[in-house]
A and B are shown apart, each in its own frame.
Chain A
Amino acid sequence: MSDTAAKPRPQFRNITIGQIAKYRLPLAGRLSILHRVSGALLFLCIPLVILPLLGASLASPESFASVASVVGHPIVKLILLVLIWGYLHHFCAGIRYLMLDLHMGIDKESARKSAGVVFGVSLALTVVFGLKLFGVW
């Protein structure tokens, strides 16, 4: 009783920006913050990238062809690849959250495994769509 009272109890306060890099999150924690990052990225890109491309691809056969040439640019391809990853990560992680909401796989071990599955599936699909985007086949 006396030793525990003598020791100062550890305090856990809200972390600051500078501490973020030092914290090592578990896999599910990384999935969670990337879910947020990808969501914010997609939000910003709706009117800046996604709608302009959608509009041009639908307006006329000529503008459809111009989208194809714009997408031919390597920097545009890179932006689209990031967006494809963002969408797939958000999609797969979102399905995991829907399952957790239904109390499927909420014990620690299966939640860790499902986080791994989300990373595996979303990154594999990103590679598949990326290969398609860069015209490998």
Chain B
Amino acid sequence: MAASKNYGPKRLVVGAHYGVMDFLAQRLTAIIMAVYTLVLFIGVLVMPGFTYESWKALFTFHVYALPLGQLLVTLAFLSLAYHAWIGVRDIWMDYVRAVGVRLLLQVLTILWLVGSVVYFAQIIWRL
């Protein structure tokens, strides 16, 4: 393919496509969280009353032996962590130009989010 014709849907694209993957992941995780938000909101609306038991049941209900409530909230939270990683990393890439400082902030962001996931898992999976 001549370099001068390298445009349009059939253009030659090189690279590892991390950018496209992150773009798609950010949007897919957003959809997962939006759907879970609506599910949780409807769950709160149809609760008989805002008591400890009914609130807890939103996150602990089972379908047969499957802990569906815990699984759904965990999937939503993992989506949140990945979504937040992409978004916060974009903020550092946009505003922090010193490579060392940017790397430090990115590492702190990962630690912050991994710590949050462990904290979350400890809350939800001991119920």
**What residues on B are CB-neighbors of A39 within 8 Å?**
84, 87-88
Asked whether any CB of chain A lies closer than 8 Å to the CB of B31, the reply is yes
Among the 9-residue stretches A5-13, A52-60, A74-82, A103-111, the one with 4 or more Cβ atoms under 8 Å from chain B is A52-60
> Quick check: A47 and B119 within 8 Å, CB to CB?
yes
Give the interface SS of chain A, mostly helix, strand, loop or mixed: helix
> Quick check: A58 and B84 within 8 Å, CB to CB?
no
> Quick check: B52 and A64 within 8 Å, CB to CB?
yes
Interface size grouping (class) on chain B: 20 to 34
Q: How far is the CB of B113 from chain A (nearest CB, A)?
A: 8
> Quick check: A61 and B52 within 8 Å, CB to CB?
yes
Give the interface SS of chain B, mostly helix, strand, loop or mixed: helix
- Residues A55 and B123 in contact in the complex (CB < 8 Å), given A39-B87, A46-B80: yes
Asked whether any CB of chain B lies closer than 8 Å to the CB of A91, the reply is yes
Task: Give residues of chain A (58-75) contacting chain B, Cβ–Cβ below 8 Å.
Answer: 58-61, 64-65
Interface size grouping (class) on chain A: 20 to 34
Docked Cα-Cα span, A60 to B34, in Å, equals: 28
> Quick check: A101 and B27 within 8 Å, CB to CB?
yes
Could you give, for residues 17-31 of chain A, a 1 whenever the CB lies within 8 Å of some chain B CB and a 0 otherwise? Answer: 000000000000000
> Quick check: A98 and B31 within 8 Å, CB to CB?
yes
Chain A residue nearest in CB terms to B56? A58
**What residues on A are CB-neighbors of B55 within 8 Å?**
57-58, 64
Docked Cα-Cα span, A70 to B115, in Å, equals: 24
Docked Cα-Cα span, A64 to B49, in Å, equals: 14
